[in-house]
């Protein structure tokens, strides 16, 4: 999934005499193409693509001949992932990962300032949030279950929201940009509640949902006692059946002996 947001800023930026930058969101693993419209003169004269704060040269084209720097520069993050269209000058990055996030800058020989700047954000896949009970000991007195929705594996993930939904309505939401913190959101429901609840983790382009099954997560205190009763009943019934069988056998033997 790729989203190009050629913001309205473009227009105002141009008016202000500043080059415009195009925002691009892409899901990790997907390809993204940075499309440009070049004149024949620009292609003949030559263009260069640069990336990052150091404006590292990653691709160039002159007179329809292309060179891509698919080598070990920039930690090899672009290795075998760059493709420059020799007709249009558009640059494609395949199998993106989050290290491709940053500014991409295309310049022409004839012009000093950037012709186009692309601001790319590669989003990592989101983990599925986990719902757990938030009460250490079960409370037989309360008819409520205290829940916690947490995100356990937030490596490489940023700018996300975590929310609880009841049916279609939003109950609570928290948004974070720094993910070196533990992300969780609490909810209190009644054991008897028949509404559907879900916990959603999302960023601007994707989301992951965990549905709540109250019976799975919320333990009622009396449950183990019920369990004991069942076990005791089974033992008692088993004993009774054994005794009955022995009794019948004994009566049968006795009856046979007397006849
Ligand atoms: C991104 O790609 C580089 C080079 O292939 C690799 O070293 C790095 O581990 C990748 N990062 C992620 C988060 O996949
Ligand atoms: C442009 O690329 C196509 C294939 O992608 C190739 O067949 C063609 O020879 C290339 N043209 C030049 C001038 O390099
Ligand atoms: C784009 O590249 C040109 C030439 O390298 C440089 O002068 C300019 O500062 C760059 N702009 C940005 C925003 O990276
Ligand atoms: C690129 O875009 C992101 C948001 O999409 C923004 O936070 C960041 O400041 C932009 N970078 C530049 C250099 O404009
Ligand atoms: C349960 O959630 C509350 C927030 O409502 C929080 O203050 C508390 O620390 C949580 N308890 C546990 C055991 O996580
Ligand atoms: C139980 O939860 C409901 C909301 O689901 C709340 O209105 C009620 O006050 C809670 N009761 C107790 C005893 O915490
Ligand atoms: C998550 O989705 C909500 C509702 O669709 C949206 O308002 C919010 O901005 C999204 N969060 C992020 C971090 O994009
Ligand atoms: C999650 O994404 C799906 C599409 O992938 C969308 O239909 C749904 O509305 C999103 N849910 C939320 C809560 O943003």
- Percent of the chain at pLDDT > 70 equals 80
* Helical (H) or strand (E) element with 254: helix 223-258
Read off the pLDDT of each residue in 65-94 and give the average, rounded to a whole number.
Answer: 91
Q: pLDDT of 199-218, one tens digit each?
A: 999 988 899 999 999 888 88
pLDDT of residue 11: 44
Residue 240: enclosing H or E segment and its boundaries?
A: helix 223-258
The alpha carbon of 13 and the centre of ligand 7 are apart by a number of angstroms equal to 27
pLDDT of 21 strictly over 90: no
**Greater confidence, 256 or 20?**
256
Confidence band, pLDDT 50/70/90 cuts, at residue 233: low
- CA angle (95 as vertex; 92, 96 as ends), nearest 5: 80
pLDDT-wise least confident of 6-15, 21-30, 178-187, 250-259? 6-15
Which residues 6+ apart lie within 8 Å of 87 measured at CB? 64
| Contact 58 CB / ligand 3 (< 6 Å) | no
**Residue identifier of the C-alpha nearest atom 14 of ligand 8:** 207
Candidate from 148, 150, 189 with most ligand 5 atoms within 8 A of CB, to mutate: 148
Which residues lie closer than 8 Å to 27 by C-beta, 6 or more apart? Answer: 1, 2, 96, 122, 123, 125, 205, 206
- Alpha carbon of 181 to ligand 2 centroid (Å): 49
Q: What pLDDT digit, counting tens, does each position of 161-180 carry?
A: 999 999 999 999 999 886 66
**pLDDT at residue 255, as a whole number:** 82
In this predicted structure, what is the pLDDT of residue 149?
A: 96
Residues 88, 35: Cα–Cα separation, whole Å: 8
Ligand 4 atom with the smallest distance to the CA of 119 is 1
Look up the pTM and report it: 0.68
Lowest-pLDDT choice from 22-26, 33-37, 152-156: 152-156
Residue pLDDT, tens place only, 85-143: 999 999 999 999 999 999 999 999 877 788 899 999 998 888 899 999 987 666 566 78
């Amino acid at each position: 999934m790729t989203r190009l947001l050629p913001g309205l800023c473009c227009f105002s930026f141009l008016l202000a005499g500043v080059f415009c930058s195009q925002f691009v969101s892409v899901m990790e693993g997907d390809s993204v193409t940075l499309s440009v419209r070049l004149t024949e003169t620009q292609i003949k004269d030559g263009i260069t693509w640069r990336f990052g704060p150091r404006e590292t040269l990653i691709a160039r084209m002159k007179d329809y001949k292309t060179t891509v720097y698919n080598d070990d520069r920039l930690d090899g993050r672009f290795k075998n992932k760059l493709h420059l269209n020799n007709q249009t000058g558009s640059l494609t990055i395949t199998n993106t990962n989050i290290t491709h996030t940053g500014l991409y800058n295309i310049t022409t020989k004839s012009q000093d300032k950037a012709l186009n700047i692309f601001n790319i954000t590669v989003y990592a896949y989101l983990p599925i949030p986990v719902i757990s009970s938030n009460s250490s000991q079960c409370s037989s007195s309360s008819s409520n279950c205290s829940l916690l929705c947490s995100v356990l594996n937030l490596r490489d993930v940023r700018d996300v929201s975590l929310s609880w939904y009841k049916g279609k309505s939003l109950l609570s939401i928290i948004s974070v940009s720094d993910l070196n913190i533990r992300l969780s959101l609490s909810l209190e429901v009644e054991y008897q509640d028949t509404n559907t609840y879900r916990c959603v983790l999302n960023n601007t382009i994707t989301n992951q949902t965990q549905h709540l099954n109250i019976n799975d997560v919320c333990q009622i205190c009396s449950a183990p006692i019920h369990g004991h009763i069942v076990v005791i009943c089974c033992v008692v019934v088993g004993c009774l059946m054994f005794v009955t069988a022995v009794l019948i056998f004994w009566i049968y033997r006795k009856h046979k002996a007397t006849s």
